[in-house]
Amino acid sequence: MGVDVRDISGLIYRGIREVKGSILVLDPIPNVLYDEVVRVRAPDGIDRLGRVLEVSKDYIIVQVFGEESGLQTDTVIKFTGSTFEIPVSDDVLGRMFNGRFEPIDGMGPIASRDKRDINGEPINPKARIHPNNFIQTGISAIDGMLSLVRGQKLPIFSESGLPHNRVAAQIARQATVLGEEEEFALVFAAMGLKNDEARFFIDSFKLSGAIERSVVILNLADDPAIERLVTPRIALTIAEYLAFELGYHVLAILTDMTNYCEALREVSAAREEIPGRGGYPGYMYSDLATIYERAGIVRGKPGSLTQMPILTMPAGDKRHPIPDLTGYITEGQIILSRDLDSRGIYPPINVLPSLSRLMRSGIGPDKTRDDHKDVADQLYDAYSRGLKARDLARIVGEMGLSDRERLFLKFADVFERKFVNQGEYENRSIDETLDLAWEVLSILPPEELVRVKEETLEKYYYKAKHPEA
Amino acid sequence: MREGEVIRIAGTLVVGTGIPDITIGEVVEVGSEGLIGEVIRIIEDTFAVQVYEPTSGLKPGDPIKGTGKRLVAELGPGLLENIFDGVGRPLEDLIKASGPFIKRGIKAYTLPRDKKWEFKPTVKEGEYVSGGDIIGEVQETVNTVHKIMVPPDVSGKLLEIAEGEYTVTDVIAKIETEEGIIKELTMMQEWPVRVARPIAPDGRLSLDTPLITGQRVIDVFFPVAKGGAAAIPGGFGTGKTITLHQLAKWSDADIVVYIGCGERGNEMAEVLTDFPELKDPRTGRPLMERTVLIANTSNMPVSAREASVYIGITIAEYYRDMGYDVSLMADSTSRWAEAIREISGRLGEMPVERGFPAYLPDKIAEFYERAGRVKALGKPERVGSVTIVGAVSPPGGDFNEPVTIHTLRFTGVFWALDPDLAYSRHFPAINWLKSYSLYANQILGGFVGSFSMYRQELFNWWKSVQSDFNVYRDKAMEILTTAAEVESIARIIGEKSLPDDQRLLLLTSELLKEGFLRQNAFDEVDTFSEPEKSALLLKLIIDFHHMVEKVIKKRIPIDRVIDLPVVAKIKRVKFDPRRVEAILEVAQEAREELLKLAEEYRVEVEI
Could you report the predicted ipTM of this complex, rounded to two decimals?
0.90
Compare B446 and A164 and report the one with higher pLDDT: A164
For position B531, what pLDDT does the model report? 87
Q: Which of A128, A355, A373, A378 to mutate to test the interface with B (most CBs of B within 10 A)?
A: A128
pLDDT at A158 over 50: yes
pLDDT at B446 over 90: no
- Quick check: A352 contacting B, CB < 8 Å? yes
Out of A55, A396, A453, name the one closest to residue B60 (CB). Answer: A55
- Quick check: A51 contacting B, CB < 8 Å? no
For position B411, what pLDDT does the model report? 95
For position A468, what pLDDT does the model report? 61
pLDDT at A388 over 60: yes
In chain B, residues with a C-beta closer than 8 Å to the C-beta of A122 are 101-102, 265, 297, 299-300
pLDDT at B606 over 90: no
Q: What are the respective helix, strand and coil percentages of chain B, to the nearest 5?
A: 40, 25, 40
Least confident window among A92-101, A363-372, A421-430, B489-498? B489-498
> CATH fold of B116-187, please?
OB fold (Dihydrolipoamide Acetyltransferase, E2P) (2.40.50)
What is the CATH code of the structural domain delimited by B3-70? 2.40.30.20
Average confidence (pLDDT) over B141-166: 95
Confidence grade of residue B456 (pLDDT, cut at 50, 70, 90): low
Chain A from 422 to 451: CB within 8 A of any B CB: 447, 450-451
∠ CA A427-A431-A435, nearest 5°, is 105
The whole-angstrom separation of Cα B95 and Cα A127 is: 7
pLDDT at B367 over 90: yes
The answer to whether A131 and A361 have CB atoms below 8 angstroms apart is yes
Average confidence (pLDDT) over A6-24: 82
Q: Specify whether domain B457-600 bears CATH 3.40.50.2000.
A: no
For position A133, what pLDDT does the model report? 92
For chain A, what is the mean pLDDT?
91
Out of A276, A293, A299, name the one closest to residue B354 (CB). Answer: A276
pLDDT at B459 over 60: no
Compare A306 and B490 and report the one with higher pLDDT: A306
Distance from CA of B578 to the nearest CA of A (A): 15
- What is the end-to-end Cα distance of chain A in Å, rounded? 90
In chain A, residues with a C-beta closer than 8 Å to the C-beta of B60 are 28, 30, 32, 55-57
pLDDT at B445 over 80: no
- Domains of chain A and any CATH numbers: 13-82 (2.40.30.20), 86-362 (3.40.50.12240), 372-465 (no CATH)
Average confidence (pLDDT) over A100-108: 92
The whole-angstrom separation of Cα B199 and Cα B228 is: 16
For position A72, what pLDDT does the model report? 84
Average confidence (pLDDT) over B261-286: 89
Searching chain A, which residue's CA lies closest to the CA of residue B522? A360
Q: Which of A116, A150, A286 to mutate to test the interface with B (most CBs of B within 10 A)?
A: A286
CA nearest B53: which of A264, A229, A34? Answer: A34
Confidence grade of residue B347 (pLDDT, cut at 50, 70, 90): confident
Residues 6+ apart with CB under 8 A from B532: B451, B452, B454, B455, B458, B462, B580
In chain B, residues with a C-beta closer than 8 Å to the C-beta of A352 are 423-424
DSSP-based three-state secondary structure for B593 = helix
In chain A, residues with a C-beta closer than 8 Å to the C-beta of B295 are 125-126
Q: What is the sign, positive or negative, of the torsion defined by CA atoms of A282, A286, A290, A291?
A: positive
pLDDT at A13 over 90: no
- Quick check: A386 contacting B, CB < 8 Å? no
What architecture is domain B204-450?
3-Layer(aba) Sandwich (3.40)
Out of A57, A121, A320, name the one closest to residue B103 (CB). Answer: A121
- Quick check: A186 contacting B, CB < 8 Å? no
The separation between CA A109 and the C-alpha centre of its own chain, rounded to angstroms, equals 26
The whole-angstrom separation of Cα A40 and Cα A444 is: 67
For position A1, what pLDDT does the model report? 47
Within B132-239, residue ranges assigned H as helices are 216
Chain A from 282 to 321: CB within 8 A of any B CB: 282-283, 285-286, 289-290, 293-294, 296, 298-301, 319-321
Chain A from 60 to 119: CB within 8 A of any B CB: 83, 117, 119
For chain B, what is the mean pLDDT?
92
Average confidence (pLDDT) over A179-190: 86
Q: Where are the domains of chain B?
A: 3-70, 116-187, 204-450, 457-600
For position B440, what pLDDT does the model report? 86
Confidence grade of residue B189 (pLDDT, cut at 50, 70, 90): very high
